Amino acid sequence: MTERFTGSFTQQEPIPEQGIAAALDVLRHGRLHRYNTAPDETAETALLEQEFAAFTGARYALAVASGGYALGCALRALGVGPGDAVLTNAFTLAPVPGAIAAVGARPVYVGVTEALVIDLDDLAAKLDQARVLMLSHMRGHICDMDRLMALCDAAGVRVIEDCAHTMGASWNGTASGRHGILGCYSTQTYKHMNSGEGGLLVTDDAELAARAVMLSGSYMLYDRHLAAPPPETFAELKYLTPNVSGRMDNLRAAILRPQLAALPDQIARWNDRYRVVDQGLRDTPGLRLIDRPAAETYVGSSFQALVLDWPAPKVQALLARCAARGVELKWFGAAEPVAFTSRYDSWRYAPADPMPATDRILAAILDMRLPLTFSLDDCAQIARILRAEISAVHQQG
Ligand SMILES: *Cc1c(COP(=O)(O)O)cnc(C)c1O
């Protein structure tokens, strides 16, 4: 009897009861817009920002409509505009080059290493081409942030961190999103907190924070924020900063606040699952696991491993065999972009020179989500199935 996994890789946990109750309160009073508050009422959105600033240790936080919006807002706040070059990862997801293209700028891609992080040597060679790096901690893998920041600081390149997969993670004790000048997070359903759509942005820089607040569409109501700079900071900026509406609403914030309180426990649960898969796949012939550096505190909400230098038909055979046993793998080597998986050479609006070393890694990445609806037994079963199928296909040569 070959076992078959029957869980769903896209099924997240329900919204916690406390979030449902808070959402019903908002629905019943009807004041969903963040600046629509009763006398003496503090908006859920403002409270979420205050709590998220405390969670990350940032001076300022802003809640917005999506993670992609947060990235675009960060670029605009830094004054990135038409024709500017922005360094970014070749291994990332579509909202990252999309945010760059949306302000009329042009991504300059930096390669990926076998550890699935940005190639710092490639970055060093390209630092003179741009004044901003949009660094994507893709799938939660964090590069040597000390070295990256030293390189960027020396070159005068400012760093925006895309923490869509690292909310709650850290490097050398500093929260992800707090190394660069701005940190951006997503609260879309597949990330570490779920409000359907949503995003957060943090910074210690008062002027950038004020610009971001104005950009998000605060009209002149910035004094209703609890995690924004004081009104003086807005004195000039309010006349100079366009409104590019992208606010978060009180309904989403109400859903998110209890999730933020529970995030440390959720991270521990994700990492329990990650470790079961990792252990189950140790020493699988043909498979290269990703060693996590000691300085990195990660959130194991997804799992990646490499089948290095396997020819494409062999990987395709593996994917088909795993799928037949209920294990859904994503692959970054397919010729055509599929679902959430696309590649730098699929983004034809932002053409790139060929990157053979990066292509070799992308063609080897096996990727799967580990939603918290999976039990530890589920994770052990997934690892058994993967191990069996990878070994079988590997042996076929
Ligand atoms: C999800 C995601 C984002 C932001 O996406 P939204 O769907 O706009 O919230 C940004 N970068 C990466 C790598 C992502 O996975």
Q: Maximum distance among all alpha carbons in the chain?
A: 71
What's the chain's average pLDDT?
Answer: 97
Please give the distance, rounded to the nearest whole angstrom, from the Cα atom of residue 186 to the centre of ligand 1: 6
- What is the domain range of residue 353? 263-396
Answer yes or no: is pLDDT of 397 > 70. no
Beta bridge partners of 185: 200
Q: Are 335 and 249 in a shared domain?
A: no
Structure tokens at 321: 């065999």
Atom 4 of ligand 1, residue of closest alpha carbon: 67
pLDDT in tens, 186-240: 999 999 999 999 999 999 999 999 999 999 999 999 999 999 999 999 999 999 9
Q: To 10 degrees, what angle do helices 250-281 and 376-395 make?
A: 50
Q: Are 159 and 210 in a shared domain?
A: yes
Q: What average pLDDT does range 276-297 have in this prediction? A: 97
Burial class (CB in 10 A: 0-12, 13-18, 19+), 118: buried
Residue type, 250: N
340 Cα nearest atom in ligand 1:
15
What are the two backbone dihedrals, phi and then psi, of residue 174, each rounded to the nearest 5 degrees? Answer: -100, 130
CA distance 250 to 90: 35
CA distance 342 to 172: 31
Domain boundary among 200, 224, 257: 257
Q: What average pLDDT does range 381-389 have in this prediction? A: 98
Q: Are 290 and 241 in a shared domain?
A: no
Residue 110 has what pLDDT? 98
The count of residues in the chain is: 397
Would 82 be classed as within a structural domain? yes
What are the two backbone dihedrals, phi and then psi, of residue 75, each rounded to the nearest 5 degrees? Answer: -60, -45
Would 208 be classed as within a structural domain? yes
Distances from the Cα of 112 to the Cα of 61, 124, 349, 382, angstroms: 30, 13, 21, 27
Answer yes or no: is pLDDT of 128 > 70. yes
Structure tokens at 370: 């580990």
DSSP code of 118?
B
pLDDT in tens, 58-106: 999 999 999 999 999 999 999 999 999 999 999 999 999 999 999 999 9
Please give the distance, rounded to the nearest whole angstrom, from the Cα atom of residue 164 to the centre of ligand 1: 5
Would 358 be classed as within a structural domain? yes
Q: Are 80 and 32 in a shared domain?
A: yes
Of 186, 184, 172, 139, residue with least CA distance to 305: 139
Positions of E strands within the chain: 60-64, 85-89, 106-110, 132-136, 158-162, 170-171, 174-175, 182-186, 199-203, 288-289, 296-297, 302-306, 330-331, 365-369
Q: Are 342 and 363 in a shared domain?
A: yes
> What is the Cα gyration radius of the chain?
21
Domain boundary among 257, 290, 325: 257
Would 12 be classed as within a structural domain? no
Would 10 be classed as within a structural domain? no
pLDDT tier, 341 (very low <50, low <70, confident <90, very high otherwise): confident
Please give the distance, rounded to the nearest whole angstrom, from the Cα atom of residue 8 to the centre of ligand 1: 21
Q: Are 199 and 149 in a shared domain?
A: yes
CA distance 135 to 20: 34
The CATH number of whichever domain residue 71 belongs to comes to 3.40.640.10
Q: Are 236 and 378 in a shared domain?
A: no
Angle at 322 between CA 318 and CA 326, to 5 degrees: 165
Would 219 be classed as within a structural domain? yes
When divided into structural domains, the chain yields a total of: 2
The CATH number of whichever domain residue 355 belongs to comes to 3.90.1150.10
Residue 396 has what pLDDT? 86
CA distance 91 to 361: 9
Would 4 be classed as within a structural domain? no
DSSP code of 302?
E
Q: Are 206 and 274 in a shared domain?
A: no
Atom 2 of ligand 1, residue of closest alpha carbon: 164
CA distance 155 to 173: 24
Q: Are 195 and 110 in a shared domain?
A: yes
Alpha carbon 372 to its chain centroid, in Å, reads: 17
Of 285, 275, 247, 320, residue with least CA distance to 70: 247
Q: Are 234 and 126 in a shared domain?
A: yes
pLDDT in tens, 104-125: 999 999 999 999 999 999 999 9
Q: What percent of the chain has pLDDT above 90? A: 93
* CB of 88 closer than 6 angstroms to any ligand 1 atom: no
Contact call for residues 134 and 98 (beta carbons, < 8 A): no
CA distance 343 to 161: 19
* CB of 162 closer than 6 angstroms to any ligand 1 atom: yes
Q: Are 341 and 217 in a shared domain?
A: no
Alpha carbon 285 to its chain centroid, in Å, reads: 31
132-136 and 199-203 beta bridge pairing: unpaired
Please give the distance, rounded to the nearest whole angstrom, from the Cα atom of residue 39 to the centre of ligand 1: 36
330-331 and 365-369 beta bridge pairing: antiparallel
Domain boundary among 231, 257, 283: 257
* CB of 198 closer than 6 angstroms to any ligand 1 atom: no
94 or 341: whose pLDDT is higher? 94
* CB of 302 closer than 6 angstroms to any ligand 1 atom: no
Q: Which residue has the tokens 């990252």?
A: 96
Contact call for residues 331 and 300 (beta carbons, < 8 A): no
Residue 329 has what pLDDT? 95
158-162 and 365-369 beta bridge pairing: unpaired
* CB of 301 closer than 6 angstroms to any ligand 1 atom: no
Q: Are 275 and 229 in a shared domain?
A: no
Please give the distance, rounded to the nearest whole angstrom, from the Cα atom of residue 4 to the centre of ligand 1: 31
Atom 13 of ligand 1, residue of closest alpha carbon: 93
Of 283, 209, 272, 195, residue with least CA distance to 241: 209
Structure tokens at 117: 């992080």
199-203 and 60-64 beta bridge pairing: antiparallel
Would 8 be classed as within a structural domain? no
* CB of 134 closer than 6 angstroms to any ligand 1 atom: no
Residues catalogued as catalytic = 191
